[in-house]
Structure 1
Amino acid sequence: MAGVCIIACGAASPAHAYAQVRVFNIAPGEMRIVLEQWSRQSGRELMYRVEDVRGLRSPGVRASLAPQKALAALLAGSGLVMRVDNSGATAIVRNSAVQRPISDAAPAQVDQPGGITDIVVTARRTEERSQRVPVSITAFNQDNLREKGISTGTDLQNFTPSLSVVGDVARNQETYSIRGMGGNGGPGTGSGPGVVGYFAEVPSSVSGPGNFYDLASLQVLKGPQGTLFGRNTTGGAVLLEPQRPKMNITEGYVDFTFGNFARKSGQGALNIPIVDDVLAVRIAGQFDKRDGYVRDVVTGRDYLNRNNYSLRLGVQFNPTDTFSNYTAVSYADVKEHGGGSILLAVNPNRPYAALLQPYLAAQQARGIRRTALSVPTREVAKNLLILNNTQWQPTDTLTIKNIVSYARSRSTSATDRDSTPLQIADLLGAYPGSYNNNLRTITEELQFRYENGPLRLQFGGFFLDQKTPSDLTFATINPMQSGGILGGGPLLIPPALQPLLGLSGPLAPALSLQPSAHVDGRSKALYAQAQYKVTPELTATAGFRWTWDRFGGDIQSYQAASSYQIFNKLAALGVISNAQAAQIVGLNSDLCVYDAYQAVASGGFPTRHYPNCTTPTFNGKSDGPTWQLGLDWQADPQTLLYAVSRRGYKSGASNPIVSLFLGEAHPLFAVQPEKVTDAEVGLKRDWTLGDVKARTNISAFYTWYSDIQVVQRAAIAGADILTNAQKARVMGLEFEGVVVPAKGVTLSAVYSYNSAKYLAYDTIAIPAIPQALTAAQPSRDLSGTPFSFVPKHKIGVNGRVALPIPASEGEMAVSANWSYQSSQRVTPENQPFDTIAGYSLFNLRLDWNNARGAPIDLSIYGNNIFNKAYRITANPSYNNSGFINSIYGESATYGVQLRYRF
């Protein structure tokens, strides 16, 4: 029969022979090859339709099992089932009970002819081959991440077109930006991320360490999302799909890495079947420890180290063929030194210029791998996520999915904002036992998917509720003012008095304490998207969403009484009178900061002291539409063309600091929601030129951007505020290609061009605020300036060459990665070091997989092997606070990696 394959490696056996246990050793691979190996090792005849297995991949099996159970393990997640008649003959057929198997995760990848991998993605909330999805998407599987050394968002940006990771002087506070759109206004003030991260379809944090392990896929979607996704976005989405438990198979791996800077890291997973075809669990975890690559010359403390671990549990329960329930628990713990910022420039026209200049000279002399800070900086975080994904298919055409999650995110960070031993702008972090970020987040999403003939319809609703379950606390040190908090310039102590007052420098520290703060946010949305096949090759897509957002919070702050004892000491030394000391100490000790500002602004006198402070509150709301219109044409099995236009929306926000000094009626208090409209065309194509296989994916886009949310640094009372730029445009091009010119040789490249600039950007003038020590700031025209943290060009080139060794010895290959990104602005304002220079990184790796025929993979790697110095973050405060500093990327690293699979 045409199209049917019969594998006959022995006489047909009676059904009872299937109970006999045999040893199976079948590696993951193409389904057709795997089935042939099963037939040889079991001695059984097997039949299947060629078209049913084409393009599918099996997880393999290495265990002592009855042949029937081994075959079930090989078919897990493929959509195929076996049928055995009374004679023992076995046939592999498509599962007709469901549209696709919901018992297990889909295969992570499909190997196309010629060795080009097509990763299975969930960009449209259902599993599809990436080449069939009309979306600009960059996808990785776990092997890709391993080979490229990707463990954080900062690593990921080097291999992904149009992706930038925006940082600050806290290294793990990564914010994703795609095509120039992203950013995060912070919890409680509204705004939110322009690029949303998802873990197993739940909006979650995907920044920082401890996320990129035991994944089925990592996907970066470009452009506005929202008509299919839980949260609305303007820039795109980053999807982490964990490996889900597999039925009827015990498998797993352990992976250890040892390298320079005393690196010791590991990860592993164990898949355990509990009840055949019904219940399975998967346990995974990782840890990463490494010394820092920047050292404090005074204390010897190493900064930018790694010290984190993560644990993950997945439970898959499939009581019937049409009902699937996946529950996951994920926990991450980070205790790192952070910091390592380097002072780059000092503004000679700012108050502390004379004090900072000697420290700048000392920093320039010692280079970028050593620093001297006044704060033992740290980054501590605990993140817990519990989710449940239930899917039911009551009919062949209808699927109902419900996704609910609970998350708890707690963190504290201490940073030295001036990057010197002086206490000018130091954030000490939270109170002991407390946190300065503590959020409880609950999400609920109900989704319906209807598929019948040429129509696919998906619609649903999304709800997010976020609040602070306990007080957020914070401690900040700034220089003492000569008359206290409401005095004039900084209090400078002469050298002769410094030791008598217990000071190590000329500045007396003033400690500000925040004993209480709360933030909350709520987002609700309804969405729907329809796909209709106008012809078998041409599909039209239309989607719409409306989102409603509310946000708010409250805060308290006061001046610690201990800071003002210096005035009593000055009185005891006879520098000031006892009466003067009593007046200053009595006024400022435990003074309620915001009450004092309000009293002076209204012409009164500060009288409130902690704990009798008022609690200022702030609230806001916004809503807006998201939509999508598109056409895609599958011209032939190797060619997909598409055109799409989308509307994106990001929540509005508010500035609490503005309400305190200027009132909620001031134009700077309310921040308008962002609005984005784009147009994109793309071509995905697989090529066969003789024996040469190739793939080229290309997309071009233009984005109209209005009410862009931007940060104006240290605008009021030394605090940053969020404002709107009026109009901007982003246009660009993205390319991803791979070619296999000969057996064992694979060459790939990625490229992106992004031109992002403001078309109309007039800042709002800020009046002089004496009680906030804020000078008048006139309006400025920043039209024509480029976006921050958006390199115009990004290039990545990879080559992998298989080495000629006997097949019995395994597979050996050497690979090289070169990545480059052009210069990028860090602020629209002109100042020294306002641009991060372009840089390139070069990595090398040697892989020996299935070493000596065993399930062992051994690798030797070197990253940034030329030890390139490059900046990855910036704190561009030259024009306001009077200095600018940065964190630099990792120096050269090398090591060995060993993985055992079972």
Structure 2
Amino acid sequence: MTIVDALTRLIAPSHLRIASFDGRTAVLTAAPVRVAARVEVVPATVAAPAVPGDQQSGRPAEQPDGLEDIVVTARRSAEFSQKVPVAVTAFTQNALREKGIANGTDLQNFTPSLSVLGDVARNQETYTIRGMGGTGGAGTGSGPGVVGYFAEVPSTVSGPGNFYDLASLQVLKGPQGTLFGRNTTGGAVLLEPARPKMNKVEGYIDGTLGNFQRTSVQGALNVPIVSDILAIRVAGQFDKRDGYVRDVVTGRDYLNRNNYSLRLGVQLNPTDTISNYTAVSYVDVNEHGGGSILMSVNPGRPYAALLLPYLQAQQARGIRRTALSVPTREVSKNLLVLNNTEWRASDTLTFKNIVSYSRSRSTSATDRDSTPLPIADLLGAYPGSYNNNLRTITEEVQARYDDGTLRVQAGGFYLDQKTMAPLTFQTVNPLQLGGILGGGPIILPPAVQALIGANGPLLPALSLQPSAEVHGRSKAVYAQVQYKLAPTLTATAGFRWTWDTYGGHIQSYQSPDSYQVFNKLAAIGLITPAQAAQVIGLNANLCVYDAFKAVAAGGFPTLKYPNCTSPAFDGRSNGPTWQLGLDWQADPQTLLYAVSRRGYKSGANNPIVSLFLGEQHPLFGVLPEKVTDAEVGLKRDWTLGTVRARTNIAAFYTWFSDIQVIQRAAIAGSDILTNAQKARVLGLEFEGMLIPFKALTLSGTYSFNSARYLEYNSLAIPAIPQALTAAQPSRDLAGTPFSFVPKHKYSLDARLALPIPAREGDMAIRATWSWQSSLRVTPEIQPFDTIPSYGLLNLRLEWNDVRGAPLDLALYGTNVLDKQYRVTSNPGYNNSGFNNSIYGEPAQYGVQLRYRF
């Protein structure tokens, strides 16, 4: 480490600070001790710098200027955040607890430039940073442009069960492709778990009770096994809460919480130079899913006359009650096993190997039309099966050389993904006149509904997909060099090349049970028995994709399940990422940097296009995204008499090409992934802290993001009669803003320590306000195409170290003004003929108790 860093750590317990340093002589002065703010730090490992502070007590890791600093791994090694030339927002476990951050939707309220996109499936969160990263998943390949990492392993950070017993949570902004790899065009979210400590038994248990029958418990236990050699840490969490949207027909509550997580960490240091960390993490979610609300109906679409009465009923009910045709659910089981081994071969050379195995399984049932009608409903997987069942293996080797002047990091990365069992799907849409290849939907008058016992005017047609599979591989090599041009001036250059392959297959047929209704229609004389037999004979067990191809070729569909073909779709892409930067440590409290980076996101393909238009059609293949940015930043700690302050500022401009965007319900009601040609994002981010006196800590964040398409001509979609898809002309969408990117966001946090005797503990009140401006949910003009601006107020009264005991007590309230706000939207008005939204959580309050030992 540098002389300044080393001296800073050595003198921290004495409460001195470095007043000046000319490279040869350091002048030290006294610094006040601040107790108003509390912080946790990453426990030291072989590679981590020693830092003061006690993680479990929550006591601050005091820096000489009275401001805490958090250890981050933004450059794949442990460093203090104020010394890293990267725009990073970092949270300790205490900060997550005190701000009520339990998932990505909460996290976005306190992180500049971060937006978290939801879907009708509420837990399928996609992170967007600086306007980049939110699109992906409509085809094979691609994926989100902001990747989550757990202990340096690519992992999911979507949904509940991840943000507990952490040493730190870090949000890195801008392309991170050199050291972190593919798809980090927008940034990365790093979860660093609390690792086992040697020679110390400690732990905590934290419980919460609140309204909506909230019951939440988490805890951890650290146990040394062999002195200085082996220790383990066991942690767990569960969270249960009633939903805040209720179905008026079934009484089912939606948007509830019901999940638990378990984690085991094993730290083995067989020698002074070897550090071996093994972790096993398991997350289990079994929840009722999203209670979506129908917002508008397009009167020019086929189902308008049927949907309008349901829209009127929904408007009369308000946003906390709904009526759905599907008992929606979100069920998932995620297992991650990893090993991170470090060997310090010498004082300057370190080798690292990171290997992981993960298995993610999930099934979800969603009602995309948000009504009791069977339109665009996903019933989930077959019983005992999953919509997603993915095995992922990663392997990374890294060598690091650091002599104080030159640091070199180089390595290779390999990822292999495949489905472990056939993926299955059950989808419901209205039965078409004459079958799936016939005319429009069958709409029954009330009298006919009564005669045949139909549950509504639309007859449901069940489409079954008994087998689907996806796979992918990614390989990369990389190197990054940091060189000190002068004791305080460092240049950085890095390069990475990534190769990706991806593909899969799918099979689908029509359930024979759906067509037995034609016998009922024949029984009441609406059709003849011969007509009923003809329709049933043609459609029952009909292979869907084979039928589409036969009709497109001018033939007649004949293949029946189980003799369906399984169309395959494969693709590949590759590309470079790089980084060039310069940072200047002007003095111990001031860091300035400038950096330019290149990001790459994997290409993709659209299986639905290959089925109807062939793999040679321009809509089949999707180009990789390319991002180039330029960023300048300043990190500065200030001392103004007895006042302490921190200001971190970053300004950036991003050139974006071949942006992967979704065209909604483009073919046969399915979304497809396409490319917009060019875009730009410019913005500013600010994070600050002010301590006017020791009892009061003020902090705030702000971001400005202007993200617009410069050139965006959507690809024309031809008429596909066999897919019931009308022609869609190309549209010029240049000048439209990005979806789900607020131009302005800010948060304000104030913590005031109350004047109680020191022997009674530390009591404080905290108020947090977060606000974001309006944002578009689609580049197209339609009703509810914008989520209005909103602000959320959280309050907290906390009493830490109650009467000198290792006990912390808090009363909390979130969204105390009970603001009604939308967190996601399905903008299908111009395509499917309706749109819907999910609303954010209402006011919640409760009590939190934590015991430390």
TM-score class, shorter: over 0.9
Letter in 1 for 2:162: N
Cα distance, 1:230 vs structure 2: 4.6
Of 772, 776, 780, the residue aligned with 1:825 is: 776
2:744 aligned with 1:793, yes or no? yes
Aligned equivalents of 2:47, 2:89: Cα separation in 1: 29
Label 1:121 to 1:453 Cα distance change in 2 as closer, same or farther (>3 A): closer
User: 1:550-579: CA deviations, max 9, x gaps?
Assistant: 000000001100000000111111111111
Give yes or no for contact 2:12–2:63 (8 Å, CA) kept in 1: no
1:691 to 642, 657, 664: 642
Contact 1:345–1:878, Cα closer than 8 Å, also in 2: yes
The residue that corresponds to 1:869 in the other structure is 820
**Which of 348, 357, 372 lines up with 1:421 in the alignment?**
372
SS in 2 for 1:117: coil
Output aligned runs, 1:329-368, within 5 Å.
Answer: 329-368=280-319
Partner of 1:458: 409
Q: CA deviation at 1:186?
A: 2.3
Match for 1:516 among 467, 482, 489?
467
Code of the aligned partner of 1:215: L
> Do the aligned residues in 1 keep the contact of 2:210 with 2:847 (CA within 8 Å)?
yes
Match of 1:389 in 2: 340
- TM-score, normalisation: structure 1: 0.89
Match of 1:32 in 2: 13
1:720-747 CA distance string (max 9 Å, x none)? 0000000000000000000000111000
Give deviations 1:614-653, integer Å, cap 9, x for gaps. Answer: 0000000000000000000000000000000000000000
SS of structure 2 residue aligned to 1:873 = strand
Does the residue aligned with 1:441 lie in a helix, a strand or coil? strand
Which position in structure 1 is the counterpart of 2:708? 757
Q: Is the 8 A contact 2:42 2:194 kept in 1?
A: no
2:151 match? 200
Distance in 1 between residues matched to 2:740 and 2:813, nearest whole Å: 27
Q: Deviations over 1:257-306 (max 9, x none)?
A: 00000000010000000000000000000000000000111111100000
What's the secondary structure of 2:364's corresponding residue?
A: strand
For the 8 Å contact 2:42–2:71, the answer to whether it is kept is no
State the distance in 1 between where 2:44 and 2:607 align.
53
Matched residue type, 2:306: L
Partner of 1:19: none
- Name 1:292's counterpart in structure 2: 243
Confirm or deny: 8 A CA contact 2:120 2:368 kept in the other structure: yes
Q: CA RMSD, aligned part only? A: 2.3
Q: Is this contact kept in 1: 2:417–2:473, CA < 8 A?
A: yes
Aligned with 1:596 (options 523, 526, 547): 547
Instruction: Give the corresponding residue for 1:726.
Output: 677
Worse-superposed segment, 856-865 or 178-187: 178-187
SS in 1 for 2:446: coil
Offset at 1:714?
Answer: 0.4
Q: Secondary structure at the match of 1:872?
A: strand
Q: Would you say the 8 A contact 1:76–1:247 is kept in 2?
A: no
Aligned partner (choices 184, 191, 210) of residue 240 of structure 1: 191
Equivalence for 1:23: none
Match 2:116 to one of 161, 165, 176 = 165
Aligned match of 1:42: none
2:75 is aligned, of 121, 124, 130, to 124
Q: Are 1:881 and 2:825 matched, yes or no? A: no
Shift of 1:229: 1.7
Contact 1:56 1:110 in 2 (8 A): no
Residue pair 1:187, 1:521 contacting (<8 A) in 2 also = no
Q: Is the CA contact 1:190–1:651 (under 8 Å) kept in the aligned structure 2?
A: yes
Mapped partners of 1:75, 1:495: distance in 2: 66
1:546 offset after TM fit, Å?
Answer: 0.2
1:320 aligned partner, one-letter code: T
The alignment partner of 1:126 has SS state of coil
**Where do 4+ consecutive residues of structure 1 move more than 6 Å?**
53-57, 104-109
CA deviation digits over 1:633-676, x for unaligned, max 9? 00000000000000000000000100111111111000000000
What is the SS of the residue equivalent to 1:700?
strand
Hey, what's the Cα distance between the residues in 1 that align with 2:42 and 2:575?
Answer: 43
**Structure 2 counterpart of 1:756, which letter?**
A
- Following the alignment from structure 2 to structure 1, what is the Cα–Cα distance between the partners of residues 484 and 155? 33
2-structure distance, mates of 1:99, 1:861: 35
CA distance in 2 between partners of 1:146 and 1:431 (Å): 38
Q: 1:828 to 1:76 in 2, by over 3 A?
A: closer
C-alpha contact 1:188 1:553 (8 A) present in aligned 2: no
AA matched with 1:340: G
Counterparts of 2:198 and 2:683, CA distance in 1: 44
Change (3 A) 1:436 1:377: same
Cα shift at 1:239: 0.2
Q: Which amino acid letter does the alignment assign opposite residue 252 of structure 1? A: G
For the pair 1:175 / 2:126, whether they are aligned, the reply is yes
Hey, what does 2:222 align to over in structure 1? 271
Equivalent in the alignment of 1:646: 597
Distance 2:112 2:727 in 1: 41
SS of aligned partner of 1:496: helix
- Name 1:484's counterpart in structure 2: 435
2:161 to 197, 210, 214: 210
Q: For 2:755 and 2:32, how far apart are their aligned partners in 1?
A: 27
Structure 1 residue 857 corresponds to structure 2 residue 808: yes
Measured in 2, the distance between the counterparts of 1:424 and 1:649 equals 37
Kindly tell me the number of residue pairs found equivalent between the two proteins. Answer: 827
Change (3 A) 1:281 1:604: same
CA distance in 1, matches of 2:67, 2:322: 46
Residues 138, 662 of structure 2: 8 Å contact kept: no
How far residue 503 of structure 1 moved from its aligned partner, in angstroms, is 1.2
Structure 2 distance, partners of 1:417, 1:647, is 37
d(CA) in 2 for partners of 1:811 and 1:54?
Answer: 21
Relative to 1, partners in 2 of residues 1:76 and 1:798: Cα closer, same or farther, differing over 3 Å? closer
- Write the distance in 2 (CA, Å) between the matches of 1:849 and 1:281: 27
Give the residue type in structure 1 aligned to 2:508: S
Q: CA deviation at 1:252?
A: 0.1
- Seen in structure 2, the aligned counterparts of structure 1 residues 129 and 529 have a Cα distance that, compared at 3 Å, is same
Separation in 2, partners of 1:813, 1:672: 53
Q: 8 Å contact 1:98–1:396 — kept in the other structure?
A: no
Partners of 1:230 and 1:143 lie apart in 2 by 30
Q: Which amino acid counterpart does residue 561 of structure 1 have in structure 2?
A: P
Counterpart code for 2:593: Y
Pair 375,867 (structure 1): closer, same or farther in 2 beyond 3 Å: same
2:579 to 618, 628, 634: 628
Give CA-to-partner distance per residue, 1:517-540, whole Å, 9 cap, x none.
000010000000000000000000
Q: Which residue of 2 aligns with 1:94?
A: none
Residue 259 (structure 1) aligns with: 210
Q: Does 1:806 align with 2:787?
A: no
Aligned to 2:655: 704
1:775 aligns with one of 708, 726, 731: 726
Change (3 A) 1:502 1:848: same
Q: Do the aligned residues in 1 keep the contact of 2:700 with 2:749 (CA within 8 Å)?
A: yes
2:359 aligned partner, one-letter code: R
Alignment-derived partner of residue 488 in structure 2: 537
Q: 1:188 to 1:791 in 2, by over 3 A?
A: closer
Could you tell me how far 1:232 is from its partner in structure 2? 4.4
Q: Which of the numbers 358, 371, 381 marks the counterpart of 2:322?
A: 371
1:328 aligns to what?
A: 279
Secondary structure, counterpart of 1:316 in structure 2: strand
When residues 352 and 156 of structure 1 are mapped into structure 2, their CA distance, relative to the original with a 3 A threshold, is: same
Decide whether the 8 Å contact of 2:182 with 2:602 is kept in 1. no
SS in 2 for 1:874: strand
Question: Which amino acid counterpart does residue 194 of structure 1 have in structure 2?
Answer: G
Q: Please give the alpha-carbon distance, in whole angstroms, between the structure 2 residues aligned to 1:219 and 1:427.
A: 35
- 1:396 Cα offset (Å): 1.1
Structure 1 residue 777 displacement after superposition: 0.4
Shift of 1:33: 7.2
TM-score (norm 2): 0.94
Q: How does 1:669-684 map to 2 (within 5 A)?
A: 669-684=620-635
Give the whole-Å Cα distance in 1 for the aligned partners of 2:672 and 2:340. 38
| Aligned partner letter, 1:467 | K
**3-state DSSP of counterpart to 1:582:** helix
User: Quick one: which amino acid aligns to residue 512 of structure 1?
Assistant: S
State how far apart, in whole Å, the 1-side matches of 2:443 and 2:801 are: 68
